[in-house]
Structure 1
Amino acid sequence: MHRRHLIALAAATATLACGSAFAQSNYPSKPIRLIVPFAAGGTTDIIARVMSEPLTKALGQSVVVDNKGGAGGAIGAAEAARAAPDGYTLSVATVSTTAANPAINPKLSYDPINDFVPIINIAATPNIIAVNPSFPAKDYKSFVELLKKNPGKYSYASSGTGGIGHLQTELWKSLTGLFVTHIPYRGAGPALNDVVAGQVPIMFDNLPSALPFIKTGKLVPIVVAAPARLKDLPDTPTFKEVGLEPVNRMAYYGILAPKGTPKEIVDKVYAAAKKALEEPAVKKRIEETGSIIVGNTPQEFSKQIKDEFNVYKEVVKKQKLTL
């Protein structure tokens, strides 16, 4: 190659590098889409909408929530994985999309470990088994006795096949030997609506979306996955209390960027989210849902995702679950 061509190539490369660095340093210069991989009304949607306003303020550009529900969160997660790694499409990570669903469906079009850059775990939320008020059992002991006497008679709703509600119930079933039939939905919101309406009697759900219905008497709490009994539900035992500590797992709601997103952009989003979580009003709104603020580092969140994925791979194997 002639010397002048080498000089021109070097100049062009330098210009591209400078342009990329300039774009990153000016990030964000347009609105950011935050994909929620579930229908509106569920916990993932609630947490995302609580965060969108303070993130908008911290980043200086609108953060717009975009619900892409279906397939236990896989449709929205796949779209997020395919997005350009420029920081303008982020997504909310859940146990369903990064652990439970990939564990049951190895043919997913995305890899939960390698196709994303974890940014921050916003909050952890307890999970709860709740029933319609017409259900004959109103506490854990009678709930178990009823299901033992009537194997296969009752069904439970979940946010979708491969979602956390599905696999956490299957984990519970594997430890108790009980059987209830799974009815999957396109998200926790539609599933909750049918349980409240009495179409399906039981649901294993994240607490933030179930709690308003519990408080108004439209759902009855049975048992909760939490470190200790909850202030809002002092009479509801934890899974650890009823001898099922492996089920005592909380959900997480974090922010992911597509693989290849520059570190400078990841750091900006992390700093903005961390700042948002320090605002008393934001903290209060998240904690009022029954969630616990986490705000960990990208490295810590990455380890959390890997650990949870391994847990649910074992559940799928033990229960011989397939789609």
Structure 2
Amino acid sequence: MAWTRRDALLAATAAALLRPAGPARAQADWPEKPVRIIVPFPPGQAADLFTRLYADELSRRWPQRVVVENRGGGAGAPALEAGARAAPDGYTLTAGTSGTLGINPSVLPRLPYDAERDFAFIGNVVVLPLLIVAHPSFPARTAAALVEAAKARPGGIDLATAGPATSQHMSAELFAHRTGTRFNMVHYRGSGPAMADLLAGNVPLMFDSVAAALPHIQSGKVVPLAVTTPERAPQLPAVPTIAETVAPGYGAFGWAGLCGPAGLPESVLRRVNTDLNAILREPAMQARFIELGGTAAPGTPEAFGDFVRREIAQWREIARIAHVRLEG
């Protein structure tokens, strides 16, 4: 039977009604162009290394490339601001970290982003355990012995950190608070110079990452006392945790996750989380993370959001107690 003009109009109307709307269709086809992940540190740092690992895998799974863009400086604040102000279309994501999301809100005045409101939390990626290491000449060989020595000499034991308000420094302040001890915090411009002075015996103690300290532990140049994560680090299974020895419930560590701007479409958020978790659960990827000093941390967006909020609350309290504040 031949179609009339009225039949054609009805068919066109029905087709238009069945076709997804513009934004919905765009979300269904996402990604249609390269996806950018902003890393708030220079190339070669931990957040950069782990981000590049999963970014390469996402590029293999998606029809478009994932490009890592490094924006170092300013304690990561400029990079996080750029990520927060990006269009919430899924084409600009941000590697949020323990420093930029967890610590900065409590120590940086005039922070140009709201860590709790300006981001859509996609998922955590990696946990980076820290630990207390000592020069071999230091008599304490356990966390309990260290606490005893520190209580005998309040403020008389030097403890090196990678700089004020770093994860290493804040973890040390949390340790002092939870154990009722006091140390003379010696701040360096990064972990490298601090470790150099520890190896030389110029300072007896340091909080550092397992990744950075492991070669020196294996060579016998420094002695591990305890790790900061709630569970023992897979790289050092014989080293006890602070929580199991002197401060039940203690947990402090570096971490890096993935987030987008607030308002990120739910379908995009779930898609990225699903693919990211699949990558993080691959045995080969988990083994590579351990080799680099971290532990893969797959999970839900909701769990990651709750985790970030707990981190902010914990470091806000420690920053207040220890009077930690960065200027500029």
TM range (shorter): 0.7 to 0.9
CA RMSD of aligned residues (A): 3.0
| Cα deviation code 1:89-120 (max 9, x no counterpart) | 21122222222221223521111110000001
TM-score (norm: length of structure 1): 0.80
1:27-176 superposed matches below 5 A: 27-105=30-108, 107-131=110-134, 133=135, 136=138, 139-140=141-142, 143-144=146-147, 149=153, 151=155, 154-158=158-162, 160-175=163-178, 176=180
Percentage of pairs with the same residue: 32
| Cα deviation code 1:194-220 (max 9, x no counterpart) | 133327745423333443453355654
5+ residue gaps, structure 2, are: 1-16
8 A Cα contact 2:107 2:324, kept in partner: yes
- What is the CA–CA distance in structure 1 between the aligned matches of 2:245 and 2:42, rounded to whole Å? 32
8 A Cα contact 2:164 2:324, kept in partner: no
Alignment CA distance shift 1:232-1:322 (3 Å): closer
- What is the CA–CA distance in structure 2 between the aligned matches of 1:235 and 1:137, rounded to whole Å? 19
Tell me which amino acid in the other structure corresponds to 1:204.
F
1:1-323 superposed matches below 5 A: 18-105=21-108, 107-131=110-134, 133=135, 136=138, 139-140=141-142, 143-144=146-147, 149=153, 151=155, 154-158=158-162, 160-175=163-178, 176-183=180-187, 185=189, 191-198=190-197, 201=203, 202-217=205-220, 219-323=222-326
The farther-off stretch of 304-313 and 205-214 is 205-214
- What is the CA–CA distance in structure 2 between the aligned matches of 1:65 and 1:255, rounded to whole Å? 12
8 A Cα contact 2:41 2:48, kept in partner: yes
The farther-off stretch of 220-229 and 305-314 is 220-229
8 A Cα contact 1:102 1:112, kept in partner: yes
- What is the CA–CA distance in structure 2 between the aligned matches of 1:62 and 1:217, rounded to whole Å? 43
Alignment CA distance shift 1:82-1:217 (3 Å): farther
| Cα deviation code 1:276-320 (max 9, x no counterpart) | 123222122123334333311111111111122111121122223
The farther-off stretch of 286-295 and 211-220 is 211-220
| Cα deviation code 1:161-220 (max 9, x no counterpart) | 4332222221122233222224254xxxxx232133327745423333443453355654
5+ residue gaps, structure 1, are: 1-13, 186-190
- What is the CA–CA distance in structure 1 between the aligned matches of 2:219 and 2:72, rounded to whole Å? 27
8 A Cα contact 1:196 1:218, kept in partner: no
Greater Rg over alpha carbons, structure: 2
TM-score (norm: length of structure 2): 0.79
How many residues are paired up? 301
8 A Cα contact 1:120 1:255, kept in partner: yes
